[in-house]
Structure 1
Amino acid sequence: MSFDPGLYAWVQEALEPLGAVSMRKMMGGATLYLDGTIFAIMVDGELWFKSDEEANAFWDGEGCTERFTVTFRDGTVDGMNYRRAPTDVYDDAEAMQRYAAVAAEAGRRRPVKKRKSKKP
C-alpha cells in the first residue's frame, strides 16, 4: 500500500469549503478526517468513503457497491464499511464535496469507543 501526497493535497483543496482535512498515516495508506471526523481512507492512490447502515443505500444507489477489504498474512480477509469513491471525485470538487459530506455524516454517527483507563 502507498500514500499519495498529490491526492491528499487535492482532497484538502476540494473540501476546503466544508472544513479542515487532516490525515493519519496507517499501514502505507492514510485515514482522512474532516474537522476531526473520519470520512475516508486513502490506499494505493484511491479513496474509500466511510459508510454505515444508514448511508449504505445512498452508496448503492450511486453505484459504489465495492467495499474495502484487507487480506492478512494468514489469508483471512476482513471487510470494512468503506465504499470505493466514484471516479468523478478525482477531478470535480463539487462531487468530492457531495460524497465527502455523506461520508462525514456516517463518521459522525459512528459510536465513539471509550478508551480503557490505565489502572495505577
Structure 2
Amino acid sequence: MRARSEYLDWLIDELAPLGTIRARSMFGGWGLYCEELFFAIVDDDVLYLKADALNRAAFVAEGVAPFSYTARGKVQTMSYYRLPDAALDDATALQHWARTGFEAALRAAAAKARR
C-alpha cells in the first residue's frame, strides 16, 4: 500500500464541503470517493477528476490531459482529467472542478441503475 501524502490529506480536507470524502489505495495511487462514489484519482500528487459527455469539454478547453497508464506495452487512457493548475490556488475553483467530477460519477451511477 502506498503511503498517504500531505497532498492527499490536504485534498481530502479541501474537498470536505462536497460531502464525505475517503481515499482508497489503488492503481499504485489513490481513488477518491465522495459519498461512496468513485470520482477522482490521485497519482503522484496529481488530481484527476471523472469526466463524461457533459463536463469533458470544460477540461479540454483548459488544455489538461486525461489520466493514462501503460499496461502490457499499450497506453490506456481513462476518462479522468487533470485538475487545472490554477484551481490548486483557489479553494472555490478546486471545489467547483471536483463537483463536476462528482456530478459525472452521479450520472454514471444513475445510468448503471437504469440498466
Pick aligned residue for 1:75 from 63, 73, 86: 73
Give the gaps of 5 or more residues in structure 2.
none
Write out aligned runs for 1:20-39 (5 A).
20-39=20-39
What corresponds to 2:87 in structure 1?
Answer: 89
Q: Deviations over 1:57-86 (max 9, x none)?
A: 12223333x1111101x3111110011111
Give the Cα–Cα distance (whole angstroms) in 1 for the partners of residues 78 and 15 of structure 2: 23
Shift in Å at residue 33 of structure 1? 0.8
What corresponds to 2:18 in structure 1?
Answer: 18
Task: Flag as ranges the 4+ runs of structure 1 deviating above 3 A.
Answer: none
> When the two structures are aligned, how many residues end up with a matched partner?
110
CA RMSD of aligned residues (A): 1.8
Q: TM (normalized to structure 1)? A: 0.81
CA contact (8 A) 2:8 2:45 kept: no
Higher Rg of the two aligned structures: 1
Q: Cα gap change, 1:29/1:100 in structure 2, threshold over 3 Å: closer, same or farther?
A: same
Q: Cα gap change, 1:27/1:61 in structure 2, threshold over 3 Å: closer, same or farther?
A: closer
Give the gaps of 5 or more residues in structure 1.
114-120
Q: Deviations over 1:14-68 (max 9, x none)?
A: 122221110110132011011112221000111111101121112223333x111
1:105 pairs with 2:99: no
Identity %: 35
Partner amino acid, structure 2, of 1:28: G
Q: TM (normalized to structure 2)? A: 0.84
CA contact (8 A) 1:40 1:82 kept: yes
Give the Cα–Cα distance (whole angstroms) in 2 for the partners of residues 11 and 52 of structure 1: 22
